[in-house]
Amino acid sequence: MRMQRLQAFKYELMPNSETQRQLRRFAGSCRFVYNKALALQQANHGAGEKFIGYVAMAKHLTAWRNGEETPWLKDAPVHPLQHALKDLDKAYQNFFAKRADFPRFKRKGSGDSFRYPDPKQIKLDPGNSRIFLPKLGWIRYRNSRDVLGELRNVTVSSKGSQWFVSIQTQREVEKIASQATTAIGIDLGIARFATFSDGTYLEPRNSFKTKAAKLAKYQRRMAHKQKFSNNWKKAQANVQKIHMQIANARRDFLHKATTTLSQNHALVFIEDLQVGNMSKSAAGTAENPGKNVAQKSGLNKAILDQGWGEFRRQLDYKMAWKGGMLFAVPPHYTSQECPECHHVSADNRQTQAKFVCVKCHYENHADHVGAINIKERGYRLLACGDAALSRSVKQEPAEVSQLSSGMQ
């Protein structure tokens, strides 16, 4: 059997000073179009009108490009500008479907990017390590690996002072069967990044925590400079550099971990954690202030520092590429249920790390217990389906009111 694989190949661009100015201008034009369309949507909603779809919004873009107020929009390629409107339309659709928060205005220097969606306008010359982009011409890039497949689109993005190109391709590959034969359950946490059902575990990388003091020092220096002055821009570059180091270290750690898991296991079971809900602020409102706000803020930082969402995303597609399968199971009571007698009680977990069953006196590390229960639930999910598993979860004792996961 064969399957279609979408894959992106990312490279660092090596533009000259003039091309860098053009890149910043095009990214700024796309950001302007996105923000102007978002402001128009908000004003339209305030007037009681219906949501403006992409087709109708594209007509506004034509007027903006031909108008007297923003004639400079004509200097930017039209397809990236249109794609900025599609990004906003997708953001609204995700909001309507309750998959994301309400769209926010974009800021300069934060995630500057633009996309060329038409592959016919793009030329790739890997032999000379260069790529041709409309209204930019040929740009050299650091050719670290071959581009495989038929080119679909190209995204140009910036991080700090560096520019990158992400080339998405599509190709047909053989659908292979996993060479591994084992299954494993994974309990994600903070003290331990991942604890496995076989008793092994991974120490956390804590890339933000290790750089937090240095980052705070440079942020203080930046705060003491006059905004947008040359010294302020130099301090900002140092802050951005540290953020890049944090992100690169976390991404490298997650890629190594997920690659190893996908190569060594045919089935992987993880908790279906809602990271966005788990890391929400506890500050509350002026009328109803939250409790233990400082402690919850520290917990939120620790959760986000682990990169659980990115870990699951990487593991999902890598397991598929290797012929394995990834299953997410409900996280209810995984660290409060005894894997021997299946007695569920909040008293079973006496401390952060210690698990002692109050009924049969089974002892183990609490995260290891969670991983064992996750694996068992995964097998039940495969054997009985969602309905049987949901019934078994609902039958847990009512006095256990808190959801428990490896981070508790």
Catalytic residues: 187, 271, 367
CA distance 220 to 234: 13
Environment class of 110 (CB within 10 Å of its CB; exposed 0-12, middle 13-18, buried 19+): exposed
Contacts (Cβ under 8 Å, ≥6 apart) of 245: 207, 211
204: left (phi over 0), alpha (psi -120 to 50) or beta: beta
Contacts (Cβ under 8 Å, ≥6 apart) of 91: 100, 103
Nearest to 28 by CA among 91, 62, 89, 70: 70
List the beta strands (DSSP E) in 16-146: 113-116, 123-125, 130-133, 137-140
List the structure tokens of 338: 């005894």
- The alpha helices in 97-192, defined as continuous H runs, are none
CA distance 337 to 197: 14
Compute, in degrees rounded to 10, the torsion defined by CA atoms 192, 197, 198, 199.
30
CA distance 376 to 76: 55
Tally the residues of the chain. 408
Q: What are the respective helix, strand and coil percentages of the chain, to the nearest 5? A: 45, 20, 35
Side by side, which strands form the sheet with 201-202? 201-202, 194-196, 183-188, 267-271, 325-329
What φ, ψ does residue 328 adopt, rounded to 5°? -105, 130
Q: What is the DSSP letter of 109?
A: T
Contacts (Cβ under 8 Å, ≥6 apart) of 170: 4, 5, 6, 7, 149, 150, 152
